Amino acid sequence: MVKNSLFNLKIEEELPVLDYRLNRSGKRSRLSGILNTMTGFRLRFLFAVCMQVAATLCKTSVYLLLAWFIDTWLVGGDHSVPLFLVGFAFIGLSLVEGFSSFQANHQANYTAERVALRLRNNLYDQIQRLSFSYHDKVDTGDLIQRVTSDVDAVRRFFSEQAIGIGRIFFLYIINWVAIARIDLQLALTTMVIVPLIFVMALFFFSKISKSYEAYQVQDAQLSSLLQENLTGVRVVKAFARQDYEIEKYRKENEKKYKLGSKLILIESLFWPSTDMLCGMQIVISFYLGASSAIAGRITLGEFIAFQALLNWVIWPIRNMGRLIVQMSRSLVSFERVNTVLAEQQEELRQGEKAPEPFLSKQITFDNVSFSYDGKNKVLDEVSFTAEAGHTIALLGSTGSGKSSLLALIPRFYEYQSGSIQLDGMELNQIRKEDLRRNIGIVEQEPFLFSCTIAENIAYGVERDVNREEIMQAAKDAAIHESIMAFEKGYDTLVGERGVTLSGGQKQRVALARALLKNPRVLILDDATSSVDTDTEVEIRTALSRLMKHCTTFIIAHRIQSIMHADLILVMDKGKVIQSGTHDTLIRETGMYQRIFDIQTRIEANLEKEISDAG
């Protein structure tokens, strides 16, 4: 029994479903949008912030206790409080600070990982539900970049930047109040640097945002190039184009290097500038603090505490600027993620239910026109009627519109004009889910998943299937014998993109997958192009039995493959220029007759050469 477990995974803990489509409101900023992704974990993150406050209070209390200890116990000689209690107080404050810091980091990181988990799940779910037209215009590498690198940048926002800014804020406020308790004038001098750091941080924030966005776009371009090269590595090696590909990759990598260098340069300018300001502030504050101690306005213990507290006021502000600059990366990445999440999903359940039984009468194309870009027509006023249970074949040169025509039947794309009716119902009014559940498709370049052959064959069926059903589908597709030749048979693992199988074997496995679905409509997009003549005869014999129970659309380039079809459509430049059966078309002057004559002469010459060689 095959349960398709690889393809129906469930998350152990259900996460709240969020509306991430921020551009619908047109008002929500990037920052409020990224904070919205924390829905469901806000209390946990608030607890992390509270723990951070507790840790900061403990740290500040240690310095204030130190000032008291120096002034009262050491200098003043007041030993009314035992030394061991003072020691326990220091140790206790340090332990509470350590525990609070651990809890703050743990809860913040937990929130960050859960947000990243949910974002990845939502992105993957969204990508599955986007239309064919979206995937046609977006690079695969760019989507991979957004699901991986950009989501990780959002994760770092919660694990490092958001909690870091909260920590810095409370460090500054609590320690500034502690300094003000010692001497208000000294506390006020520490505030001079704050507006300068913020102005610099905001200036670099805008600069880094633009540079980082350009860097991420180029990084995605590089990922797309790598993915494309790995997919087509056989073509590269077959045509000895390694040097060309290396040079192409080197140029794109050089662009990424330049953008990365520019980004690093901008960031590098920020750190020395803030370090210089912070250093000047510390020197001035130390001088004023020492002067106050010498003048007797503050005690020795208060001066030592002031020195320690000053570091926890000045350097956190410097780090605040650093985190604000780093936040620019996270917000840019969030915007890139949200761009995908904001795309309109393909509505699979919108419309009316398909008629029952599915396709009992006919499919009618009436002056149907279609264009991918809204300008150049791929199909131009196509009209024909396909009776239920019949076989309709499409013949024509590359780019004539054959595959585009068949892509309209499962509503992968929507036609712009004309009418397609299924048993009297307008096709674009029928739910896509119902259409695709009743349609089996074998592509010209079939895709196999990295799992067993049995799981690949069972992939398209929404129920548990037994091994006998899988084997019968394989036999109908003339692939059973080839599968049994493997050591593990149907349990043989198929490599990435099915590389352990030949092209013809992959095509027949894909055919078995479609046949196991037992569809009411079967679409074969040149599905026998990668098999030999004998295997094609076997497949046609098996299909002839199955086609009695379904309506079949076939794209083929060999007339021998389609001559028994009930209706043959000859296409050229998006138009149906001839239609009829083989017997009628062979007697008409036109493209079909010319193709038939050419293929007949080629086969005759080939047979003659074989007989002469024999």
pLDDT at 10 exceeding the cut of 70: no
What are the Cα distances from residue 498, in Å, to 223, 224, 471, 512? 22, 21, 19, 15
Q: What is the structure's pLDDT at 598? A: 87
Q: What is the structure's pLDDT at 20? A: 42
Higher pLDDT, 133 or 368: 368
pLDDT at 5 exceeding the cut of 50: no
Token couple for 597: 């004559």
Q: What is the structure's pLDDT at 102? A: 93
The pLDDT-based confidence of 487 (bands split at 50, 70, 90) is: confident
Pairing of β 362-371 and β 417-422: antiparallel
Pairing of β 425-426 and β 417-422: antiparallel
Percent of the chain clearing pLDDT 70 (strictly above): 90
What is the average pLDDT across 211-223?
83
Strand, coil or helix: 3:
coil
Q: What is the structure's pLDDT at 96? A: 94
pLDDT tens column, 118-146: 888 888 888 888 888 888 888 888 888 88
Q: Which of 45, 46, 165, 171 is nearest to 97 (CA)?
A: 171
- CA–CA separation, 217 vs 223, rounded Å? 10
Percent of the chain clearing pLDDT 90 (strictly above): 13
Q: What is the structure's pLDDT at 3? A: 54
Q: What is the structure's pLDDT at 223? A: 82
∠ CA 578-443-340 to the nearest 5 degrees?
115
The pLDDT-based confidence of 229 (bands split at 50, 70, 90) is: confident
Cβ-proximal residues to 485 (8 Å cutoff; 6+ apart), any chain = none
pLDDT at 543 exceeding the cut of 80: no
Q: What is the structure's pLDDT at 59? A: 86
Per-chain mean pLDDT for the chain: 82
Poorest-confidence range of 48-57, 198-207, 389-398, 413-422?
198-207
Phi, psi of 417 (to 5 degrees): -150, 165
Q: What is the structure's pLDDT at 546? A: 64
Q: What is the structure's pLDDT at 567? A: 93
The pLDDT-based confidence of 221 (bands split at 50, 70, 90) is: confident
The pLDDT-based confidence of 419 (bands split at 50, 70, 90) is: very high
pLDDT tens column, 36-46: 888 888 888 88
525, β-bridge pairs: 555
pLDDT tens column, 136-192: 888 888 888 889 888 998 898 888 888 888 888 888 888 888 888 888 888 888 888
pLDDT at 499 exceeding the cut of 70: no
- CA–CA separation, 327 vs 154, rounded Å? 9
- CA–CA separation, 572 vs 402, rounded Å? 9
What is the average pLDDT across 297-307?
85
pLDDT at 232 exceeding the cut of 90: no
Whether the bond between 357 and the residue before it is cis, its omega within 30 degrees of 0, is yes
pLDDT tens column, 69-123: 888 878 777 777 888 888 899 899 999 999 999 999 999 999 999 989 988 888 8
Q: What is the structure's pLDDT at 26? A: 37
The pLDDT-based confidence of 326 (bands split at 50, 70, 90) is: confident
pLDDT tens column, 329-346: 888 888 888 888 888 888
What are the Cα distances from residue 288, in Å, to 2, 166, 190, 297, 315? 78, 29, 11, 11, 18
**pTM for the structure as a whole:** 0.76
The domains located in the chain, with CATH, are 30-341 (1.20.1560.10), 352-438+552-614 (3.40.50.300)
The pLDDT-based confidence of 542 (bands split at 50, 70, 90) is: low
∠ CA 270-272-273 to the nearest 5 degrees?
65
DSSP letters, 518-546, are: --SEEEEESTTTTS-HHHHHHHHHHHHHH
pLDDT at 16 exceeding the cut of 70: no
Q: What is the structure's pLDDT at 67? A: 82
The pLDDT-based confidence of 47 (bands split at 50, 70, 90) is: very high
